[in-house]
Amino acid sequence: MKARYFILLGISIVIFSCNAKKKVDKEELAKPNILFISVDDLNNWVSNIEGFSNAKTPNFDRLAAMGVTFTNAHVQAPLCGPSRASVMTGLRPSTTGIYGMIPDNKIRREENLATKDIVFLPEYFKDNGYHTMGIGKLFHHHAPDSVFDESGGRRKGFGPYPDKRFVWDGFGKGVKGIHGRTNTDWGAFPEQDSLMPDHQSVNWVIERLTKNYQQPFFLALGFQRPHVPLYVPQKWFDLYPIESIQTPPYYADDLEDIPPVGLKINDLPMMPSTEWAIKTGEWKNIVQAYLACISFVDYQLGRVLDALENSKHSENTIIVLWSDHGYRLGEKGTFAKHALWETATKAPLMFAGSNLPKGKKIDVPVEMLSIYPTLLELSGLPEYSKNEGKSLVKLMLNNQGLKESYAITTYGMNNHAVKVDGYRYIQYEDGTEEFYDHESDPNEWYNEADNPIYKEKKKRLKKLLPKVNSEWDLETNYTFQPYFVEQKVRVNGKSVKDLEVIDSE
């Protein structure tokens, strides 16, 4: 009798376990999928935000109509490596000390107390039952080992490149052998979209959107354009006849009221200057090439949206699209990101999903740091206690928090910008300041830091500055910018010869 009892008990446990497993699977499958799209060096010129020089981006418009667009989103660092590390760790650069480029596999190390046991954004989803996949530029290069269940990798560099190239090799204070150079050139190349890495990455994503999955998925796509070199096929240039091109606002004496540290940061020997572009007649050509690259990415985005729409996953997928920083196309004297001013820190941020408003725009400042907690809340996952950003869900659903919203950008140790609605405050490591009133000065041409009428406003913004300013992580460098080489040597006590030159790409 006892034997029969234990046999029946065993059978009951097995049946119960199977039913429980089925229930868990159903719960997991009910979770939304995530389509995570990053775009390299994309500023706010897309048509649904600024539409500068008649930018043609119908698929960015299409995504905007599907969800919420943040027109005033700001990055936590105006440079690829630290910006992406911030999004993926959920931590500020001032917390991690990651101010420059860093190899993907060295972000999380025992030596960095802030990141040594951090859970990267895709990993958090993986740990909560998601099948994770990624291709292209997501972290600085691609991704740390084992972050994705399926990785499509990334082709090194930003090719293909023509045999003969004009590569800008600027002046400034750069020293050959110590400071690097960049891939800044522009033109129509290659002949077909299919030869571009971004096109091939989209093929990989489309293939995965046609499949069935036993778990919800996290699918990440990192576009390389419009990062330099500004090469895409001729048909994208044809959308923008050179005679129709506008150039951004420029004031030749703009930098006369900038503190010395700000001028050092803006000394970019590897980038063309606006004065050079004016004298050589290249300014419109550079703007045309940048717009052509945006339209190329827009077309690739459309291919992804078509594939999702035609898949079984269309009703249960959350989309987030973001860029790692803005890009200056002649504003403030150069063609680069690399600054704490508006055009370098502001970039597109869009969310779409079945439970989000359609076609909504939110104009208050927000942070890319909010991507991590926002995706967790939208997916019904537990909060991650280490996230320093705030979820944007309540802001999207019912405008909760509009008045309190702000954004902080950090560039190097103890250099910060604070953006609140209508104002920008910058404080450098030596305490010098900039202050801009965007209602009267949208181009940030006139530094009002010493104007007494802004004293109280400045004091309020100053209180928002990060309280922690970690020293440079020993594995992070930015050898392409003389100021950052000098600052890291000064802070960490290492000689220039000890610095590893990490590819700016």
- Give 41-86 pLDDT, tens digit per residue: 999 999 999 999 999 999 999 999 999 999 999 999 999 999 999 9
The whole-number pLDDT of residue 173 equals 60
Distance CA 327, CA 329 (A): 6
* DSSP labels, 283-347: HHHHHHHHHHHHHHHHHHHHHHHHHHHTSTTGGGEEEEEEES---EESGGGBEE--SSSHHHHB-
Active site residue 293: no
- Per CATH, the number for 29-498 is 3.40.720.10
Residue 492: per-residue pLDDT: 84
Tokens found for residue 7: 């046999």
Predicted pLDDT of residue 178: 66
Active site residue 140: yes
Confidence of residue 108 (pLDDT cuts 50, 70, 90): very high
Query: How much is the average pLDDT of 247-266?
Result: 96
pLDDT (mean) for 163-172: 73
Can you give the pLDDT at residue 90?
98
Active-site annotation holder among 140, 142, 179, 227: 140
What is the C-alpha separation between 493 and 18, in angstroms, rounded? 60
Mean pLDDT of 240-269: 95
* Contact between 388 and 94 (Cβ < 8 Å): no
Please, what is the average pLDDT of the chain?
A: 91
Peptide bond between residue 93 and the one before it cis (omega within 30 degrees of 0): no
> Looking at the predicted structure, is the pLDDT value of residue 12 above 60?
no
Residues 231-244: what's their mean pLDDT? 98
Share of the chain above pLDDT 70, in %: 89
User: Which one is catalytic: 74, 80, 142, 313?
Assistant: 80
Q: What is the pTM of this model?
A: 0.92
Q: Please choose, from the candidates 410, 349, 408, the residue with its C-alpha nearest in 3D space to the C-alpha of residue 79.
A: 410
Model confidence pLDDT, tens digit, residues 353-399: 999 999 999 999 999 999 999 999 999 999 999 999 999 999 999 99
Q: How far apart are CA 79 and CA 349, in angstroms?
A: 17
- Would you say 139 and 85 are in contact if contact means Cβ atoms under 8 Å apart? yes
In 3D space, the residue among 168, 165, 417 whose CA is nearest the CA of residue 268 turns out to be 168
Interval 88-99: pLDDT, tens: 999 999 999 999
pLDDT, residue 182, reads 76
Instruction: Tell me the CB-side half-sphere exposure of residue 320, using CA atoms within 13 A.
Output: 26
